[in-house]
Amino acid sequence: MFESAELGHKIDKDTYKQQVPGLREALLDAQFDLAQTRKFPVIILIGGVDGAGKGETANLLNEWMDPRHIHTEAFGSPSDEESERPSMWRFWRALPPKGKVGIYFGSWYTEPVVKRVYGETDNEALGYSLEEIVRFEKMLTDEGALVLKFWFHLSKDKQRERIHSLEDNPKTRWRVSEMDKRHLKLYDKFRDISEHVLRETSTAEAPWIIVEGFDANYRNLTVGKHVLEAMRKRLDNPESRPHVSIAPPILTPVDNLHIINTLDLTQKLDKAEYEKKLEKYQGKLNLLTRDPKFRALTTIVVFEGSDAAGKGGSIRRITQAIDARSYSITPVAAPTEEERAQPYLWRFWRQVPRRGRLAIFDRSWYGRVLVERIEGFCSEYDWMRAYSEINDFEEQLAGNNTVVLKFWLQISKEEQLRRFEERQEISFKRFKITEEDWRNREKWDAYQIAVCDMIDRTSTSHAPWTTVEAEDKNFARIKILKTLCDRLEAAMKELPE
């Protein structure tokens, strides 16, 4: 894999001087078009061996292009706000919006590689991380990002030569750290593991570009031309990403037996029983959220359901039991301008709370496979891939001591009509039924199919769906409170003392 990057590539001074002006001009033009059209973001990853010109390359791109539209970031140790969230959170928050260029050092590759080299993880754990990375990058490219991954390579001899020459020069001595010297000793191990990593993560959408790092002229021209060609290709062929799914269609069960029509919507709780249980579970929830162990967890509760299914009322039965300082509620509406310039899940990632807090989502990322699917707001390909992207998101949350609860509130079509009519009689404007509610109601059957697909495809062991028979509000509220208590209790038991 690294053979071509040990050939001693070199560009002489004259050729370099002759080629650079035109290249810079073209790069600036491409960047200008990108900033004007805001068609996509450019994500440039910089990896490779020490001394092979990683920092120099980032500086070069900032010099050759307009640095005002480039964001360069090296990820050091995570801040406390970062370490309380899943490890990918800090990469999500650093993603460039459409129209901008982001240059990232090491990035999501650093931790898996370094941990494997130092023997803190085994091949299996590394493989798992790499699969996660491949899916993450696939999501980025599916969302339209141009992902360019540069790996700067030096042969063992050249690396030694480079580090010693940096050390010998008083002006550059500071650049050689103890870690560099330690890494030099681990060269062979690094090389083997890097080769494995590059092989596993070189995909059609985001291939690695390996660059021999010894000769600066060669390195600079290679990187500059790659960035230019890649940007130009995407700018001039904006429709290159797949919008038509080649997946076979999802069919409903041929006997029409599905998860929703197996629900027993006749289940009820009478008022006396309801009030007894409400007090019991609200009291329990209150105690649980005051337990010191609660502060070691993050809790995320998702509410989905048809219009008038009782989401708002159920949410209030939860918040009544909890100190207002411990929860937040995100009502999911149309994305803002900043959110539209980012991948679909970005606006939910930014709402992931710190430890010890409970975040409630009134509607959620599942809008992608419900309303957006049914209304055609995104392509079939986009909502098809959303299932696995959502599963990845929730798996990362769950892997970070986050309890993820998802409630689907189901009522019958008749009950919805009854509630709509009841609301129309009410004088409070905030409960008025809108034209849109009636329009959604016409698509009842399509929604039911989408809901069944959603539950089938995203109910996982780490983030299961709870279907809630919501025909009777009392029954629904108690089921939700009890489920929340049970899940919290179980999660707290699993925590170390």
Interaction residues for a second copy, span 263-322 (CB under 8 A): 290, 312, 315-316, 319-320
Q: Please identify, using beta-carbon distances, which residue of 34 and 485 lies nearer to a second copy.
A: 34
350 touches a second copy by CB under 8 A: no
Output 488-494 pairs: Cβ under 8 A, ≥24 positions apart.
488/285, 488/288, 488/289, 488/294, 488/297, 488/299, 488/403, 489/288, 491/297, 491/401, 491/403, 492/288, 492/291, 492/293, 492/294, 492/297
According to DSSP, the β-strands at 70-74 and 465-469 are unpaired
Complete edge-to-edge strand list for the sheet that includes strand 146-153: 70-74, 101-105, 42-48, 146-153, 208-212
Query: What six digits make up the tokens of 480?
Result: 């939700």
Task: Check binding of 6 to a second copy (CB under 8 A).
Answer: no
Please state, in angstroms and rounded to a whole number, the distance separating the CA atoms of residues 263 and 266: 9
Q: Which is nearer to a second copy, 58 or 147 (CB)?
A: 58
Q: Does 25 bind a second copy (CB under 8 A)?
A: yes
d(C-alpha 197, C-alpha 181), whole Å: 22
CA 494 – CA 24 distance, rounded (Å): 57
Choose which of 72, 203, 217, 460 interacts with a second copy (CB under 8 A): 72
The only residue of 8, 238, 253, 331 in contact with a second copy, by rule CB under 8 A? 331
Exactly one of 19, 245, 267, 328 binds a second copy (CB under 8 A); that residue is 328
Cβ-based nearer residue to a second copy, 373 or 406? 406
Minimum Å gap between C-beta 423 and a second copy is: 14
* H or E segment and range at residue 465: strand 465-469
Q: How near is the Cβ of 315 to a second copy at its closest, in Å?
A: 7
Each residue 31-50 as x (binds a second copy by CB under 8 A) or -, in order, gives -x------------------
Site for a second copy, residues 197 to 236, rule: CB under 8 A = none
Give yes or no for a contact between 61 and 70, defined as CB atoms under 8 angstroms apart: yes
Question: How near is the Cβ of 37 to a second copy at its closest, in Å?
Answer: 12
The rounded Cα 268 to chain-centroid distance in angstroms is 39
Choose between 199 and 316: whose C-beta lies nearer to a second copy: 316
Q: How far apart are CA 49 and CA 224, in angstroms?
A: 20
243 CB-contact burial (10 Å; exposed 0-12 / middle 13-18 / buried 19+): exposed
Opening angle at CA 305, ends 375 and 343, nearest 5: 55
CA angle, 196 as apex, 191 and 202 as ends, to 5°?
A: 115
- Among residues 174 and 249, whose Cβ is nearest to a second copy? 174
Question: Interface residues for a second copy in 73-92 (CB under 8 A)?
Answer: 73-74, 79-81
**Interface mask (CB under 8 A) for a second copy, residues 143-182, using x and -?**
-------------------------------x--------
**In the set 179, 204, 254, 324, which binds a second copy (CB under 8 A)?**
324
Question: Any contact of residue 242 with a second copy (CB under 8 A)?
Answer: no
The residue (of 292 and 376) whose beta carbon lies closer to a second copy is 292
Please state the closest distance from residue 391 (CB atom) to a second copy, in A.
27
For helices 435-442 and 413-425, angle between their N-to-C axes, nearest 10 degrees: 170
Chain residues binding a second copy by CB under 8 A are 25, 28-29, 32, 55, 58-59, 61-63, 66-74, 79-81, 103, 105, 174, 290, 312, 315-316, 319-320, 323-325, 328-331, 336-338, 362, 428-430
